[in-house]
Structure 1
Amino acid sequence: MTIDRVGVYATLFWARGREYADFVATRIWGPERDAAADADPKSKPVEEWTAEDWEALGDQPVPLAAQDTRRTVTKPAMDTSILAILTNWRAVVADFLTIYHLDLHDPAVLDRPWLGVRTALYALLDNPASLLRRALTAGR
């Protein structure tokens, strides 16, 4: 396999997906691949290699496809989605009054740039005394 073939395959894989890249590779390099497989009956397609086959090559890294990538899924410690924040908007308003001494409905606060309000809002998620933090971590 030449670097040109790897480059073409990688480009097709990135642009169109694995199925398309495999289809094109089979159409372009298929007969040569079949001839090499007939010459060495022990050879098998790279897609069927196991971790042991890759380790036999030496210092080359084992690709993710050959590794056991099963992971356990855990619930996040806090629901920080916009929906969760908006659902608990009363806690946001209360926290701004008690922690930052800012009334979100005050015209002076409304005239401020949103970036500062957003920063303060996300800072509430890190404050253990925040009602918003307690509401988003309840039941988790």
Structure 2
Amino acid sequence: MKPNYELCTVRELEDICEHIDKDKYPERYQDVLKALSARREKEAIWYADNHPDDETFLFPRRSNKMKIITSIPLLIFTAVCIYFGAIPWRYREELITSENDPILFWFLIILFLAAGIGQILTIKPKNEKSKT
């Protein structure tokens, strides 16, 4: 009785390829290779059909509203940290201040500002209707 490799996943077929005795079962080994190739091709076609723009799938486009919603709290938090001169840190007992760790303090402030301003700079203006 021959095993039905059509029901196996890619991982299972790869596992079978690694552990099958190629000398004892050369026909089965070839069947597994054919099934693995067919399964990978099916998955590639499915992926291409369902994800036509790979970049959009990996990095979904965010709306201007979402960019504003995420950047404003970050910029407010940064302003509060600058005003009080301290950044709360979860894994430290003391606050990060410009007195006790100035390099880390200003590095984090610049990082927060860059992230918030970077979000705002990527906002695209709405297209104006063409006048005829």
Question: If the length of structure 1 is used for normalisation, what is the TM-score?
Answer: 0.29
Question: If the length of structure 2 is used for normalisation, what is the TM-score?
Answer: 0.30
